[in-house]
Amino acid sequence: MKFAHSCVNSLYLYASFAFAFAILLLTVERCHTTYVKDGTQPSNPVLLIPGDGGSRIYGKLNRTSTDHWFCYKTTSDWFTMWLNYEPFFFPPVFTCFMDNAHLVYNNKTGEYSNVPGVTTKMDPIGSLDGCSYLDDLDLITYFGKIVSHLKTNRGYTNDNLKAYSYDWRYTPVNIHKEGDEGEFGVMKQLVEDMWQNNSQQRVVIVTHSLGGVLAQAFFEYIDQAWKDKYVQNWVSIGTPLFGAASSVESFSSGYNLGKFIVPNFKLRKGLRSWPSTAWLIPAAKYWDSNPIIMTPTQNFTASWDDMDAFFDAINWPYGKTMFHQVRSVLTFEPPKVNITCVYGSEVKTPSQFYYKYGLPDDGSDPTILYGDGDGTVNIKSGMGCLMWQDIPGNSVTGIELKGVEHVGLLSDQGSRDAIDKVLGY
């Protein structure tokens, strides 16, 4: 970000220290008693798969123009595009992230790519760095407490504890035609390598949020013999298996997770352009018939016809294109692996959105009607994997964490206990 005066720089420095100190206070974990099996070493390797926004994206800029004067056009080196602190001190800067992170669609190829002049990359395959903590100072934790627990209390190392960081703006919609060279092929090879390098012990896969949707698509793609050989258990934490109502709001007016720092509308440009947003539109087969979007003249349910009409109403044809591409990625076939389904409940969660003056082009926010869930994932979706409990070939254990919000599931003791149980502790 560009600053014109030294006094602004001083305020920025002061705010940086204040924010860092506040985060430190929030992330200090109380001391607790730990236990380790005497004379034993970790058996099953563990693979972590993060969700939407759950891993860092690094960027390099060589742009000819930007949406705002205070956004950089060029950078000499890679920088942490997501997540950095600047928007917390000067909220308009978040629009710089969205301007850099939004995707463009190629009508001829049907593919999405970065905006011209923006290059992105993720952390190396297997690295824990980009999803343990989301910032460069390791203050904003994501999988951090789970990683710390497994390393400190269970003896895990970087050899048997790894992560799969992926660009969460996209979906695996084109992976099937790419075969083992696509994203699923990379995941498959990582699991096989972990199995081979850890005495051929099967891998426990721990996912959060969108990472669980990705895992379900992966399990549908992979044959049963491979799953039987390489996968010990899937610990699904906060997976929006059937989608989330807030994803529809993301297209109409944007969605800021209920945080006041940045207005919803400022985030709409990026959210509308990401196929992953369309992937989380509620699955009509498993959603109820209540409207998700309501206006004085028209309502829209999760049905395919209504979603098509919704995209027409907001004049966003690319949204309809994305929706058509991704809506059939999941068949919701039983994954036929051992599943521990961890979900949050009894947290006020957006379920319906009423636009008093019609669908907005001016940044107006809807009146939100709330239901049960974890604050982001509606309860019917978070509990989705329980539908496989009575199907032969599936072992499904449900764990409800009452009053725990979506990202907080990763720091809650209940999630660590669920992982421990799968690992035999």
CA distance 255 to 281: 13
CA distance 195 to 23: 37
CB 273 within 8 A of CB 104: yes
Out of 276, 374, 412, 415, pick the active-site residue: 374
CA distance 183 to 189: 10
Q: Which structure tokens are listed for 63?
A: 């742009």
Three-state SS letters, 133-166:
ECCCCCCCECCHHHHHHHHHHHCCCCCCEEECCC
Question: Does 406 qualify as catalytic in the annotation?
Answer: yes
Closest CA to 350 of 255, 236, 270, 209: 255
CA distance 309 to 315: 10
CB 81 within 8 A of CB 100: yes
Q: Which structure tokens are listed for 409?
A: 């599931």
Out of 132, 165, 209, 252, pick the active-site residue: 209
Question: Does 32 qualify as catalytic in the annotation?
Answer: no
Cβ-based burial of 58 (10 A; exposed 0-12, middle 13-18, buried ≥19): middle
Q: What angle do CA 228, 241, 404 make, to 5 degrees?
A: 105
Distances 286 to 10, 144, 350 between C-alpha atoms, Å: 53, 33, 17
Distances 43 to 312, 413, 423 between C-alpha atoms, Å: 53, 21, 8
Cβ-based burial of 361 (10 A; exposed 0-12, middle 13-18, buried ≥19): exposed
Question: Does 16 qualify as catalytic in the annotation?
Answer: no
Residue 5 has φ and ψ, to the nearest 5°, of: -130, 150
Out of 102, 149, 208, 406, pick the active-site residue: 406
CA distance 296 to 121: 44
CA distance 116 to 30: 46
Supply the residues annotated as catalytic: 209, 374, 406
